[in-house]
Amino acid sequence: MELRDLRAFVTLADLLHFTEAADRLHVTQSALSKQIKRLESDLGGALFSRSNAGTQLTPLGRDLLTDAHKLVNGADALAWKARASLGGNAGTLRIGFGVGTKVFVPAAISRFRAARPEVQIELNDLSSQHQIQALIEGRLDLAFCRLPAPTGWPHIPVVVARFIAIIPASWSPALTLAELASQPVSIIDHHRAPAFHAHLMNYLAGQDLRVAQIQPVQDFVSVVALAAAGIAWGIVPSSTSIDDPGVRIMPLTDPAASWLIGLMRPPGKASALVAAFWGTVEEMLGDNALATM
């Protein structure tokens, strides 16, 4: 049983006129008749009867018409979905991101889906190291990670991030970073954000700061909470949401306290969907302007 024969059947059943059905299908009446006869042979019975009153469905034709419509419509939908997917207008895009791009990523997705509403987006909040591993294993299509990218990977610098110190508001505002080092400090656990943790420890060492006591935490919200409680100060990315009157913010402005976050993907030809999202991000960045968080 061939799809084109089923299509001939439902078209003729809808029109009940051989000439009109043949015109719609862009075939000759003879070809249409052969398709119907072939299908009738496959099914084991006549689908149409012809008389002076015109063309009519037989009982078998009426019984099979609904299911035939479903099969033809399903095949059409599958063909449309394939074309849409190949054109970057349908499918699922799996994107990794972290706290440093929590503002940029939703804006990029909103712009992308405005032009391609049929695309489904799966977001994965992961550290840079875990995003790169997911890209290698094929569990992500794109990721917003700390740069540099692995050798040979396409990437676009997107966001400049930096460290900021979160200090209890009850502590003296005159405290310097060197003086804060003698107080307990909360730092996200290495396993939760390996690249951030390593960078931060290198930064503190480069500033010749030896912190007195480190309290590991599982997320950056906890750093803010501990500072608001007056228990410890901490260092978080500049993109961290901070809306607590119990803390003060001290930006760390030297170059060693900043880093770049970029959109990246593994090497090889990008799918149409990946290429389309990549183009959206390039449009947002304009003339190589970077967002600052």
> pLDDT by residue (tens digit) across 247-287?
999 989 889 999 999 999 999 998 889 999 999 999 998 84
pLDDT at 102: 85
Question: Which ranges in the chain are annotated with CATH 1.10.10.10?
Answer: 3-84
CATH class of 159-259: alpha beta
CA-based radius of gyration for the chain:
31
Q: Which amino acid, one-letter code, is at 172?
A: S
Total Cβ atoms within 10 A of residue 92: 11
Question: Which ranges in the chain are annotated with CATH 3.40.190.10?
Answer: 91-156+261-287, 159-259
pLDDT at 122: 95
pLDDT at 76: 81
pLDDT at 210: 85
Q: Rounded distance, CA 195 to CA 200, Å?
A: 9
Task: Point out the residues of the chain with pLDDT beneath 50.
Answer: 287
Long-range contacts of 10-18 (CB under 8 A, 24+ apart): 10/65, 10/68, 10/69, 10/72, 12/36, 12/48, 12/55, 13/47, 13/48, 13/57, 13/61, 13/65, 13/68, 16/54, 16/55, 16/56, 16/57, 17/54, 17/55, 18/55
pLDDT at 53: 77
Q: Rounded distance, CA 143 to CA 97, Å?
A: 6
pLDDT at 292: 53
Q: Rounded distance, CA 290 to CA 40, Å?
A: 65
CATH number of 91-156+261-287: 3.40.190.10
**With contact defined as beta carbons under 8 Å apart, do 9 and 66 qualify?**
no
Q: What is the pLDDT of residues 21-40, one digit of tens each?
A: 999 999 999 999 999 999 99
pLDDT at 290: 58
pLDDT at 240: 86
pLDDT at 291: 56
Sign of torsion, CA 16 77 70 46? positive
CATH number of 3-84: 1.10.10.10
Q: What is the pLDDT of residues 56-66, one digit of tens each?
A: 999 999 999 99
Query: What percent of the chain shows pLDDT beyond 70?
Result: 96
Give the rounded distance of the alpha carbon of 221 from its chain centre. 24
Residue 160 vs residues 21, 99, 131, 262: alpha-carbon distances, Å? 62, 12, 18, 9
pLDDT at 279: 93
**With contact defined as beta carbons under 8 Å apart, do 276 and 144 qualify?**
no
**With contact defined as beta carbons under 8 Å apart, do 166 and 249 qualify?**
yes
Q: pTM of the predicted model, to two decimals?
A: 0.66
